[in-house]
Structure 1
Amino acid sequence: MSAPADTSAGAPDPLAVAREALAGTRTWLVGGAVRDRLLDRVTKDLDLAVDGDVEAAARGLGRAARAAVFPLSEAFGAWRVVAREGAWQADLAPLTGATIEQDLAQRDFTVNAIAEPLAGGDPIDPTGGAADLAARRLRMVSPGAFSADPVRVMRLPRFASELGLEVEVGTLAAARLDAPRLREVAQERVFAELRRVVGAPDPLHGLELMGQLGATAAVLPELDALRGVEQSAYHHLDVHDHTLAVLAETVALEGDPAAVFGPERGERLRELLAQPFSDELSRGTALRFGALLHDIAKPQTRGVMESGRVTFFDHDAQGAELTREILTRLRTSEKLRAHVAALARHHLRLGFLVHERPLTRRDEHRYLRRTTPVEVDVTLLSVADRLATRGRKSDEAIAKHLDLARELIGPALAWESGERPLPLIRGDELADALEIPRGPRLGTLLAELEAAQYAGEVSTREQAVEHARAALAAAGDGE
């Protein structure tokens, strides 16, 4: 079997390295690595099943590749080898049965139950995985596949959305039976699959499958709770379907930001969204989570005024809190929790500014300061949110919103990259010049000076001191 190797320029083929390092060891390339080779997909991950001493095999491969080696699972005896700069990695595990055929019989889906002798030879495919791949079909290896590990229920929508596979009817029914058990397993394992669903080329297909399986109710019940929550006349969808529409617009914007922001800024945005973020997510996928959770508190904040107008007062602030709770439950990093919560907290700010145009430099500074460190990301989220809102007067509202977003995206990109003027005076120097103590009042004055400097109102140290002195006097603190 031949397929493109995932190597950097001049780097050796990891499969060739593994074959040489593990010569004489009964080892098979298994699972996703074989599947992706059959699909002519480039892969950075090798999965190897070893009939023998797994640790010795891993350390031998690590020495040959000059790579890092560490245990992956003490319970299952698995080890991981990671090449320098993450060029590739290999997971080595012992056979889970007496033979490779018995090992494959315990896997999740037939497309992942294909093996190839590392030394070379014909594929071993006892469950018909190659035929299922050719038919674009996702089928369980056995009726007990999901009861053996309920996390496989989440792997179903992940593989379906990542690989564009249609789920076999019996597999769908079997997964549905075990979906409620997703609440019982380690939530970091659940999130590891959820992030792949959300980051897939077609996340809406994966989320739709999660809903059909009952997995959403177990993993993200707050998302299920958005169904049927009606909105104002300015919306054409309930909160659930609006959320999915915002996600769709986010995916489109991630793929082609130039369509909204032009080629130069579009390229900068594309590069920024492709950056690694945390939790094995790109910054773009983190933005997708922001889209998924930005209105998550609308059910608990919904109200109806005497006039009949539907309101969701404070859903941004409460949404930030609920977002943090959800991601904490899913055991994500603090970095991701804070980032996505900030997206929920600030997703309305740009829309409010539409009614305050033309903006002053101080208005611009206030927006950037309040939305830091998500000033770029939340601007994009607001665009996706606005594009997905097509009720009363939507065309006019969208045009105004996009016009303002284009005005602010340049300053936001500059702010994010650190292109800000250096302070004209240090805090201790200002305190001494004004003969005031260090404390909250000094912090307020420094913030005022930053805004004044951004607006072009002061440009020298002397002007900064006099501006601060005037601010003190205006506040009644000049004595």
Structure 2
Amino acid sequence: MSGASGDPLALARDALRGAPAWLVGGAVRDRILGRATNDLDLAVGGDVEAAARALGRAARAAVFPLSEAFGAWRVVGRGGGWQADLAPLGGETIADDLAQRDFTVNAIAEPLAGGEPIDPTGGVADLAARRLRMVAPSAFASDPLRVMRLPRFACELALEPEPGTRAAAAKEAARLRDVAQERVFAELRRVIGAPDPLHGLGLMQEIGATAAVLPELEALRGVEQSRYHHLDVHDHTLAVLAETVAIERDPAALFGADHGTALSELLAQPFSDELTRGTALRFGALLHDIAKPQTRGELEGGRVTFFDHDRQGAELSRAILTRLRTSERLRAHVAALALHHLRLGFLVHERPLSRRQVHGYLRRCQPVEVDVSLLSVADRLATRGRKSEEAIAKHLDLARELIGPALAWEAGDRPSPLIRGDELADALGIARGPLLGELLGELEAAQYAGEVATREEAVDHARRVLDERARVAEG
């Protein structure tokens, strides 16, 4: 953007000319790093509400209180293209304010009117050294959520936490249990959505954050699997996440240019909870085997089993995301990924698939038919035990066969009913109820398979199904 009409920083400078105000936090940090940002954080040494309303008038933007307790206000540009958060100084001076921040890289200010950076804690030097360092030893004790901000900034910005900062975070990690869980999730989603989420998860484990935030993930450690796996459940889960990230970055590498473009567009779609659909898939990868510890068993001869871990995993995934106060949409999505992540693998042994079998897969997995197909591939690629190369090749062949129909189904290319339910019930002389629903499902499968194409054929087919059921019932 350029010009005061669209540049939020220029708008703020014009609207707050003469007011004691400073650009602070991530906006300064990202400018130094050369990262594009349209979000501003401003520390105001006067009436924050008046400053926010002045900026709102200048930009013809929405203005509302962000935190009554802390006196913060937010201004959101038209169309949501930018936002500015304005807060009172945390102390008498800007130096006092910066001394209360979390990390030195976030404790840099610039006078809004322009001028040299104000950097009392050496944040500019830390950025140059790619170092993440706490402002003060009390940083984590004053706000335990900062424990989660450590891995978030480390993996988002490729910064390395220095040893003293790691140790101080570890001392306060257990207190994450007492923080509002929606705030914890807001940081966790940034870790999982980062360019290198495994680095962030590794730091979470090292400082004790995982045990406080995702104890179920910690419980996967040491859970050994069958000879077809080369890793325990925990390390396999991280490997699946790594494969998911690789697929998200370049789906064409596995699925070809045509499908790759469609998959990239789908995974980039905004989802819920400020996630993309790709990041939602990453959460599915992280939780797909979450119920394996509670379902592990051994048969005679030592064969390891995890019967029902898909269904129980769906329930546990939902419970975890409920605890983290996510949206129902994300809970349902991740639960469906856990529930259906084995289906494509089961079909490998039934090839060649009929059109009916393809329909059955799509219908059962809906609305995650594309997402769970990708998850199944990541899961298979991360399983490198006995006969893995042969198994991976077969799985990929089937996934490539199904991904086109799955994308088409996702786009709405599916059979339109040849007959309404009430019309079918009248034609067959049956009541509305479960049987009618089953017949409509059978007609959709038959239509997808090319077995019926007209209303009359649909009614005849349904009548034959009823007659066959009656013969079977009579014995």
Find out whether 1:250 has 2:247 as its counterpart.
no
Report the 3-state secondary structure (helix = DSSP H, G, I; strand = E; otherwise coil) of the residue aligned with 2:40.
strand
Pairwise CA RMSD: 1.4
Residue matched to 1:369: 363
Residue matched to 1:457: 451
Distance of 1:385 and 1:58 partners within structure 2: 49
Distance of 1:66 and 1:410 partners within structure 2: 46
Task: Give % identity.
Answer: 80
Per-residue CA deviation, residues 202-256 of structure 1 (Å, 9 max, x unaligned), is: 0000000000000000000000000000000000000000000000000000000
Distance 1:369 1:400, change over 3 A: same
Per-residue CA deviation, residues 152-190 of structure 1 (Å, 9 max, x unaligned), is: 000000000000011111000000000000001100000
Residue matched to 1:4: none
Q: CA contact under 8 A between 2:4 and 2:10: conserved in structure 1?
A: no
Cα displacement (A) at 1:10: 11
Distance of 1:388 and 1:429 partners within structure 2: 49
Find out whether 1:435 has 2:424 as its counterpart.
no
* Farther-moved stretch of structure 1 (320-329 vs 66-75): 66-75
Distance of 1:8 and 1:253 partners within structure 2: 36
Residue matched to 1:61: 55
Distance of 1:475 and 1:57 partners within structure 2: 74
Distance 1:317 1:123, change over 3 A: same
Cα displacement (A) at 1:62: 1.4
Identify which of 25, 28, 34 aligns with 2:19: 25
For these two proteins, the number of residue pairs brought into alignment is: 473
Residue identity in the other structure for 2:16: L
Residue identity in the other structure for 1:445: L
| TM-score, normalization by structure 1 | 0.97
Q: Which runs of 5+ in 1 are unaligned?
A: 1-6
Cα displacement (A) at 1:421: 2.2
Distance of 1:11 and 1:413 partners within structure 2: 41
Distance of 1:16 and 1:200 partners within structure 2: 30
Distance 1:336 1:11, change over 3 A: farther
Distance of 2:283 and 2:455 partners within structure 1: 43
Distance 1:10 1:264, change over 3 A: farther
Distance of 2:16 and 2:467 partners within structure 1: 78
Distance of 2:68 and 2:250 partners within structure 1: 44
Q: CA contact under 8 A between 1:8 and 1:87: conserved in structure 2?
A: no
Distance 1:461 1:219, change over 3 A: same
Q: CA contact under 8 A between 2:5 and 2:11: conserved in structure 1?
A: no
Identify which of 284, 296, 304 aligns with 1:302: 296
Distance of 1:53 and 1:395 partners within structure 2: 66
Identify which of 88, 100, 108 aligns with 1:94: 88
Residue matched to 2:67: 73
Q: Which runs of 5+ in 2 are unaligned?
A: none
Residue matched to 1:402: 396
Distance of 1:227 and 1:132 partners within structure 2: 34
Residue identity in the other structure for 2:464: A
Distance 1:463 1:8, change over 3 A: farther
Find out whether 1:36 has 2:30 as its counterpart.
yes
Cα displacement (A) at 1:11: 6.5
Distance 1:149 1:339, change over 3 A: same
Residue matched to 2:469: 475
Q: CA contact under 8 A between 2:102 and 2:139: conserved in structure 1?
A: yes
Distance of 1:352 and 1:105 partners within structure 2: 58
Distance of 1:58 and 1:369 partners within structure 2: 50
Per-residue CA deviation, residues 405-438 of structure 1 (Å, 9 max, x unaligned), is: 0000000000001111211001111111111111
Per-residue CA deviation, residues 436-456 of structure 1 (Å, 9 max, x unaligned), is: 111111111111111110000
Identify which of 335, 342, 362 aligns with 2:336: 342
Find out whether 1:104 has 2:98 as its counterpart.
yes
Distance of 1:141 and 1:423 partners within structure 2: 64
Q: CA contact under 8 A between 1:376 and 1:409: conserved in structure 2?
A: yes
Find out whether 1:239 has 2:236 as its counterpart.
no
Q: Summarize the alignment of residues 153-302 of structure 1 with structure 2, pairs less than 5 Å apart.
A: 153-302=147-296
Report the 3-state secondary structure (helix = DSSP H, G, I; strand = E; otherwise coil) of the residue aligned with 2:135.
coil
Per-residue CA deviation, residues 263-282 of structure 1 (Å, 9 max, x unaligned), is: 01001100110111000000
Find out whether 1:143 has 2:141 as its counterpart.
no
Distance of 2:336 and 2:314 partners within structure 1: 6
Distance of 1:307 and 1:209 partners within structure 2: 39
